[in-house]
Structure formats: structure tokens, C-alpha cells
Structure 1
Amino acid sequence: MRSLSKVTGFLVCLALAVTWLSGCDEPQPERAASGASPSGQPARGAELQDPPEVVSDHGVLRTTVVVERRKVWVGDRRLWALTYNGRYMPPTLRVQPGDRVELTLVNRVGAKWQGVTTDTNLHTHGLHVSPRQPADDIFISIKPGTTYHYSYQLPRDITPGTYWYHSHIDMYSAAQVAGGESGLIIVDGLRKYLPPSLRNVTEHVIALKDDQIQGDAIKINPLSIQAKTNRTVNGQQNPVIHIRPGETQLWRLANIGANIYYKLHLKGSTFHVIAQDGYPVHRVYSADTLIISAAARYDVLVQGGPAGTAQLETQPFYTGPAGNSFPQVNLAAVVTGGPPTVPARIPSIFGPLVDLTSAKIAGRKTMVYTEKNDPDRFYINGKLYDPNRVDFVSRLNTVEEWTVRNDTQEDHSFHVHTNQFQVMSLNGKAVDPAYAWHETVNILRGQQLVLRIRFADFTGRTVLHCHLLNHEDKGMMSVLDIVDGR
């Protein structure tokens, strides 16, 4: 791993001054109401607060992100956490296609905490940007007391939707993300595909973050995926979301935690999916429940029903004999009330159809997940991750077909950096191209997935891995080198 110590002294002070002037102190939100509901769940808390936003201006987003250990509000408790700009739920970065992002990362983490490295870095998850310095190079290590300047050029044709940013430091990604190092990125442009009557709908971020508690701190190491876990929405404990009867809202659902699954359900309502993993679907589809693995995102339309209160919940979910069993948990109280409105018609056709079914295939690759009865080792093609070894080579401006097989007794997810992919088939059954594009997808135990990737715009070393970060940190990651196709 390369070590970077870009600047000290004047630039660090300048970056910190900018951050403090922007107000990085964690606000102290209203505590959740005391007591519990008859079901034993925490009583509903304060009104949902969308995270603050940093918005691009005239084609450029400039911001500073300070990483430090601070005691902040996490749900309804003050805990020591790993924070971005002094917040457990940091600002959302909001950009337009074609923008440039200039991001200064300041590492103010001091001594090791729970045995976790003080080095860090930042990955813009899902963005189609260069994997080379100074953009999305996840192989770098930013030392404490130093600053690194990231610069990302977004393509004009980057797909709109919800993305996120988080630490991707080797062997300690799970610890740092679980500690709080994660926030959202929104690429605007989804509304242009909506009918005029829906282009001004209320929008909410529903960022799902979870924490395990050890004393007055978030536990970050060692982490057990099965351990009791507290779940928050936008860093709040069981907040209230208001909607009018018949009203349509746009919710950006994002699992930005380290390891656990959500099986989302809202009684009496339907999720109308318009984008997934930062990619607009061609045909809108509806679901009563959505399984959201770690790192996955869904942009959905939700419509208010009759007046009353319903729980946005995660239902019980089982990931297999070698995996984990997650309980039912109430996440937010959705209160429907106020003047009713006539429900708008949900569109059926949405984004453009992009289909690689007839594409010329330049190469085929196979990737197999395995475990060997060792809880601390997870393998791809029989190998543990080595940042100094290239496992796959692909050529720019080509389309490849990959077979991804899960030969374990638990679910895993598949995530590839730099380029999104089209799922072609699952266990031999074709997947409708109208909603087949992802960059993070869950693969059940024993399943086989066939996907196609177009390698466009950018060369360089990048990675693919299981996004249960405990598994990634313990070996389930491979290096992909995208080389010039000429």
C-alpha cells in the first residue's frame, strides 16, 4: 500500500478553518421520546431530518471532509464515533452530470482506537470516475495529521441517482464504516424522467446506518455481524416521516452501513422503484418489500394511504447456515395526515433502455466465492486479497461477460468499482434488461449470476469484492486492472 502525506502546516490549517466555518459541530437533535411501544420497540422519535447538503455551483463542488473521533449523537445516545465533519450523519454531496468535485480530506484521527489503524482514505461508491490518483484510488493510505486533495471529473452521461462515500482502507473498511465514516452522494437528473405532475415532489433521504455499542462508544473492532445492532435512519432513532393522503414522495433508500441487510417493508404501501444503485430503470417496478444488502440503494416513489401511522420496518432476514439471522426492527414511523390529494399516476416507462444482450463479447471471466471452514478467511477463486497482485485484466472499450458463483452456505454481495454492470441471468433464468443494471447485487448461497460489463472511459487498477465489509477485509476482494484497449 502506498503511503501519502500530501501537505501539512498552512494547507491543513486552511482546510480546518474552512470546515469549522461551515459548522462541523454535531447538532444536538431532540431525543427520541422515552419509553417503548407495546411491541417493545423504541417509541417514535423526532421528525426526520434530511442531512445537510453541499451543492455544486457553476459546475464545481468544493468541500472539505475532516475525519476525526468525536462524541456525537448516534440515534438517541451520545457515543464516541468516527465522524465526517463532526457528524455521524455527514453532509450529502449533491452534483450534476459533468461536474467536477474537488474534495479535501483531512485526517485528524489520533491514536489507534480499538486496535484499528489511524490511516484512512475515501471511496466514491458507484460513481463512474477514474480509479487513478487523484480520483477514486482506493489503494492509497492517508496518514493522521495529513491532508489529501481528491479531484473527480464526472462524465456528462453519468447516470443520475443515489451514491455514497466511505472509507476503503485495506483490512479496516468494516471498522471505519461501522464507526461512522459514510455519507451520501446524489447525482441530480432523475426528475427529468418523471411526468410534469411529479417533478416537484417532496424528497427524503432514508440513509440506513447501524451501530454496535460498547460502553459509551460505537464498537468497531472486532465486529460480529450477528451481534445485537442498533439501526438508525439519517442517524436518528425511529424518526417520524410525514406524508399526506394520496401524496407522492421520492425516497432515496441507501444502506450505508458495513455489514447487515435490510428487508424493508411499509405496511399498506408499495415501493415504486425508479432507480437502483445510481441507475434509472427503464420500466418502473413495484415491490411490497425490498432486500437492501450492504451498499445497495433504491430510489423509490411512495404514496400516502389513509390517515394513520404505519411503521417503516426491516423484516426478519436469514442469510444461510453459515450466515446470519437478522430480527424485525422498526426504523421510522410514517404518519399520514393533513389535506388529502388525488394520487398521481405512477409512470410505467422511466429511463432509457440500455441493453448489452447483442453486444460483442471480448472476453469471459469466472469469479467464485468460497469459504474453507475458517471464520476469518473468505476467498475469490481460492485466493485471499493481495493489493500487489492483479487478479483480472480487462480492456477499455470492450464488453465482457462474467459468471459470479456463490459456492458458500451464506449470502454474499458482488460490487465492482468504476463501471456498472447489466445482470443477464440468475441461475440460468434471463433477467429483464428494463431493470437489470447495478453495481452492488446480492447473490444468495448456491446461486450463479451472469453479468456483462462495458469498460468505458477510464483505465487503471481497481477492485471488485463482497460488500459485506467483514468479508472484504478478510480476503474476499480481487484486483482488476483496466488497460488501454488499443
Structure 2
Amino acid sequence: MTMTATTSRTTATGAAPTPFTDELPVPPVLRPQQNSQGTGVLRVHARASMVSLHRALPRTPVWAYEGQLPGPTIEVRRDAALRVHWINKLAGPLPIVAVTGPPGSQNEPGRSGASPKDLSGMPAWTAVHVHGAAVGADSDGWPENGVSPGDRSVYTYPNRQRATALWYHDHAMNLTAYQVYAGLAGMYLIRDDEEDALHLPSGRRELPLMLKDINLDQDGEGRFTGRLLHKTELGANEFFGPYTTVNGRIWPYARLRPTVYRLRLLNASNARTYRLVLLDDSGTPVTGAMSLIGTDGGLLGAPVAVPPEGLVLAPAERADVLLDLHAHAGQTLTVVNTAAAPYLGVPAATPPGVPDPAHRLPFPQVLQLRVAPGPAPEPQLPTVLSPTFRRLTHADLPHDHGHRLVMLVKSSKPLREMEPAPDGPGIVRVKGSDGTTAGFRVAAGTWADAATIHVVQDSWEIWRVLNLSGQMHPIHLHLVQFQILRREVYDASGFDPATGEADPPIQHVATLPVPPDEAGWKDTVRVNPNEMAVVAARFADHSGRYVYHCHLLEHEDAGMMRPFVVMPAGIPGMGGGHGH
């Protein structure tokens, strides 16, 4: 498929809206006013509205917070409590078209050859989750605690966590994929004194960048209608759209000066992973201009160079990046995506910037950077960031920390909580890195199963997530930020997902070092096929019922989500709560 200048219709040659036509918008900022008790208060409305995705397209109906796509950026200070009234003012049917098409059809707009899905009976029922927030269970946005139009939920956020970029989005049970796609998402920034002391780029030099892929509906004449199209393919439920939006615009451009910018990157896509590469005018990758200074949970101890192969962001992951443009005065740079869909963690099939329609990447463009000419003194970038950050090791954990094993399997029970069991029918055997073999059975594997993970409040746990499904899953734990202790590779050739048994046992092959760009605090971890991600977290300060799930939103809605419960220590009958 080739990009052309056509702006009104898509043809068999792959015409599409002209890239880099609209300037990058920056969402407005909401800063709370304090009430008489010293708590900040905000009222945020979910509304139906019309927005412009591209100047050549008809306006698009969306559901969005305050009617803006993306929603306003909420900005708070560390330890300053915030109470938000999330008010459901939605009206009318869900403003998207959903269809299922033949294999390969996700690269194309329009419904040709696709079977429609009837969404007319879906309620405008919403639950809001601030992703990455350490918050009481009653304010976490439990997926079954939705509210209908005219009602509201009032949640309190203590903000007792490090400066970082979180985000808020709809989390209603079985509706999340459609409603986030319809526009219900925005960013949530926490500031603190440690961050202030670094004098990082701010104001117009700090850019929140919400990345999200979309598809577009067409009428019977092949003209764009402006409506969002959620097109999936037969045999798969993940949504991959051909067009990338940044802050709600398709392939925008930004006018920048030859200085340093702070990019607060968020992948808000339903299922698409981005591997971002910066190209110069000639299409050559630019190296050394981007430094990673923070991950999901806040600042690193020191900047990390973005890998030459690109910065990877799975759905829900964030990256705090310094972009140094002093050597690029007067140049036009382009950010492109090189990740195939679905993403398997393998190198790109085509050079950066070259379309790869065979892997659902017909248009790699993301964002154009137009750097103004002029003098560009070399900036002084920080070499030390967070003095309070430290890298965890197993030895840092208390001796009584808990252990959990979760397996990801392509089956009707895709998220399997495992418990130790002797050999026998239905037992999967795992030979670990220490050479010993242990048997496990499924303790729970569907949303309807009772909660089996009960964590003692303020305790540490190690969760091991073993992926036997054949595709990458970004796994998100509510309440906590964790660190990835290690990744392990396994040979699962003997595993039968139908029986849950493994003969020969699933066997450890290698232990992988944690790359520097994944060494910070995280709340979402990419678990690649035939790998085990081993993470450590402290379940501190709050108790109650939470969830963890795959953040491929169609997977979450299809049942790849499970509850866990945090209980205060000392409750009779709860035992140690430390798992296996």
C-alpha cells in the first residue's frame, strides 16, 4: 500500500488522509481546587461529542471526558489527596461501528466483506480506573461498579506515590475495549519535589503524547464518514487499526525548537504495540537523540539511551523521554512505528518507515517533528535523576515474601492461577532454573471462579507469569508498581493446552537480563511467548478487592482478567496469605 495525497476516499491502491496535515494538539490541564478539608476536588464529565481527527475528514462522534479527545490531563502533587466526581453524561448509542472481516481486512477502512456486530443494546455504563494509582479498592474502578447516565462515582486518590505519568480510562465490565476505543481516556500526572529539583523541560517543552490506532468507516461510495470503525478479523478478536493518532489527530506534526523536550508517551491502543524509531529527512534512523528517564512508575536513577531498534510500548505502557534536538536545527524528523501486529518481540520485517502490510502495518507514520532553524547551544542534560530509585534484587525482599504462578494459555481459561499439586491427571510439570521439577494444577481460570489470591497488606510478593499462548500479552496489576527481577525462556513443546499437561515438562532454557529500558518501576509487563516474567511488588497501604488482567482490551473483555484480594494482617481464617 502506498500513501497518496488523496483526502476524501480510500481506493484499492491504499489512498488515505494526507499525513502531517494537522498540528499536534495538546490536551488542556485540570488542576484541582482544594476544599475546606484540604482535599482537591474535580468534576469530570463523560460526554458524547464531535471531534476532528483530520482536517480532510468529516467530524467524528466520540465518547470523551469533557468531550475532548483525549480527555484533559489531570495534574496533582504527591501526597495531595484528590476527590474526583466521575459524572456519566453520555447520551445516545455507542458512537462506533463494529464489524468482523476476513483475514487481512484490518489494513483497510470500511465494512466491505465484513459482518456487522449489533451494539445497539449496549448500555452507556461506565467505570473509571486511574491506571497505575495506589488507591483504596473502593476508588479503583472495579469493573462491575459501573454507573449509568445521570449518575456518578466519587473516588478519592491519595497520590502517595512518586512523580510519574498515570492515565485514566473506562474499565466497565465487558465494555472496556469498545468504550476506550470510543474515546474514554486521558492522562494523569503526579508531580513532586524530587522531580522539581531536576528542572526538566516544562510548559510548552513538555508534551503529553497519547498514541492510539484507529480505523475509519466508509459509505457505499467509498467516502469516509468520519465514524470510528472497530474492525477485527475472523479467528482473532484483537483490534489493529491502520491509522495512528497522536492526541486524537491522525499523523500530526509538531513545531519544535532546537532544544530539549520532555515527551510523556502513552500507548492507549486497544491491542497494538509500538516500537518507535526517529528518522531524519533521508529516512535514516537518528540515534542518541532520545533518552529514557522514566517508566510506568516514575523516574529512573539515571538516563538510559533508547535502544537503536526503537522504544517499545505495549498497550498501557508509558515512557518518560528526553528528546534532544539541538543538533537538528532546521530539519524535519519523523517518528515511525516498526512493530508488527500482533507483536512477538522480534525484529522488524522491513526497514524503518517502510510499510509492512503483511504484518498489519500498512502505514508506519506516527508523528512529524518540524525543528525550527537557529542557534542551538548544546544543552546540559541531567546525568543523575531520582536519588531515591534503587534497583531491586531477590535479596532485598523479606524472607517471608509470597509467590504466585500464573500461566497464559490459548484456551477457554486463558489466565490460569496455578497451585502446587502432586503428579496425576491435569497436572502440568515445570522444570525451573534450579533444575527441580514441580507439578501444578489450575486453581482458577475464569472471571466467575472464586478469588484464590489473597495477599497480606504491606507484604511483598513475587509473581511469575509464564506465557504459553503463542503471542505477547501485556499484564497489568492494579494497586501496585513492581520491578521486573528477570525474564526466563522456557521450552513448552510438550505442553497440551487442552489437557493442561506437559510431557516432557515445561523446561527452563535460559535466564535473560532485564534490559535497562525495563529496569524501572512498572505496572504493566510485556510477557513474550515462551517466556516467564518474574516481578516483585509490595502490596502496601490499601486493602480490598482488585484485579489483574491482560491489557489487550479485547482479551480483557473476553475473560483474561482475574480478581485478587488484599487483606490486613491478623484476620482470623486468612492464614499467611503468601501463596506458594
TM-score over 0.5 (shorter chain): yes
SS at match of 2:44: strand
Listed as ranges, the matches of 1:369-388 within 5 Å are: 369-372=408-411, 378-381=414-417, 383-386=444-447
Q: How does 1:42-81 map to 2 (within 5 A)?
A: 42-58=18-34, 60-76=39-55, 77=57, 78-81=59-62
- CA separation in 2, counterparts of 1:197 and 1:179? 33
Indicate the residue corresponding to 1:334 in structure 2: 369
TM-score (norm 2): 0.71
Assess, with a 3 A threshold, how the Cα gap between structure 1 residues 185 and 68 changes in structure 2: closer, same or farther: same
The Cα offsets for residues 91-139 of structure 1, whole Å up to 9 and x where unpaired, read as 110111012222122223345532433211100000111122x454443
- Counterpart of 2:254 in structure 1 is 241
Aligned with residue 106 of structure 1, among 78, 87, 91:
87
Q: Partners of 2:22 and 2:194 in 1: how far apart?
A: 28
Q: Shift in Å at residue 151 of structure 1?
A: 2.2
Q: Which portions of structure 1, spanning 4 or more consecutive aligned residues, are displaced by more than 6 angstroms?
A: 38-41
* Equivalent residue, structure 1, for 2:229: 219
Partner of 1:16: none
Separation in structure 2 between the aligned mates of residue 229 and residue 197 of structure 1, nearest angstrom: 34
- Identify if the C-alpha distance between structure 1 residues 152 and 137 changes in structure 2 by more than 3 Å, giving closer, same or farther: farther
For residues 261-276 of structure 1, the aligned pairs below 5 Å read 261-267=273-279, 268-269=286-287, 270-276=289-295
**What is the deviation of 1:262?**
1.1
TM superposition shift of 1:342: 1.7
Alignment of 1:435 with 2:519, yes or no, is yes
Indicate the SS of the match to 2:397. coil
* Corresponding residue for residue 310 of structure 1: 333
2:342 alignment partner in structure 1: 319
1:181 — aligned with what?
A: 184
Identical-residue share of aligned pairs (%): 22
Bigger Rg, which one: 2
What is the root-mean-square deviation of aligned Cα atoms in Å? 3.0
Distance 1:222 1:291 in 2: 23
Q: 1:432 to 1:295 in 2, by over 3 A?
A: closer
Q: Report the counterpart of residue 8 of structure 1 in structure 2.
A: none
1:179: how far off?
Answer: 0.9
Which position in structure 2 is the counterpart of 1:353?
389
Larger CA deviation: 397-406 vs 304-313: 304-313
SS in 1 for 2:250: coil
Q: Distance in 2 between matches of 1:347 and 1:39?
A: 44
Which consecutive residues of structure 2, in runs of 5 or more, have no partner in the other structure? 95-118, 219-224, 280-285, 347-357, 418-441, 489-510, 571-580
C-alpha distance in 2 between matches for 1:320 and 1:86: 32
Q: Distance in 2 between matches of 1:93 and 1:385?
A: 34
What are the superposed Cα offsets for residues 404-454 of structure 1, whole Å, 9 maximum, x if unpaired?
A: 111111110111001101110011234378933200121111111111111
Q: Does 1:166 align with 2:169?
A: yes
What letter is aligned with 2:560? M
C-alpha change, 1:277 and 1:166, in structure 2 (3 Å) is same
CA contact (8 A) 2:213 2:241 kept: no
Partner of 1:206: 209
Q: Partner letter of residue 135 of structure 2?
A: V
1:90 aligns with 2:78: no
- Distance in 2 (CA, whole Å) between partners of 1:80 and 1:412 is 30
TM-score of the aligned structures, taking structure 1 as reference length: 0.84
SS of residue matched to 1:140: coil
Relative to structure 2, which stretch is displaced further, 442-451 or 71-80? 71-80
CA distance in structure 2 between the partners assigned to 1:385 and 1:126 by the alignment: 24
Shift in Å, 1:333? 1.0
Q: Is the 8 A contact 2:392 2:483 kept in 1?
A: yes
Counterparts in 2 of 1:220 and 1:63: CA distance versus 1, 3 Å: farther
CA distance in 2, matches of 1:258, 1:467: 8
Residue of structure 2 equivalent to 1:410: 471
CA distance in 2, matches of 1:222, 1:195: 45
- Deviation at 1:385? 3.5
Q: Give the SS at the match of 1:470.
A: helix
Alignment match of 1:139 (pick from 144, 164, 186): 144
Distance 1:461 1:93 in 2: 25
For the 8 Å contact 1:423–1:451, the answer to whether it is kept is: yes
Query: Is the alpha carbon distance of 1:309 and 1:194 closer, same or farther for their aligned partners in structure 2, counting shifts above 3 Å?
Result: farther
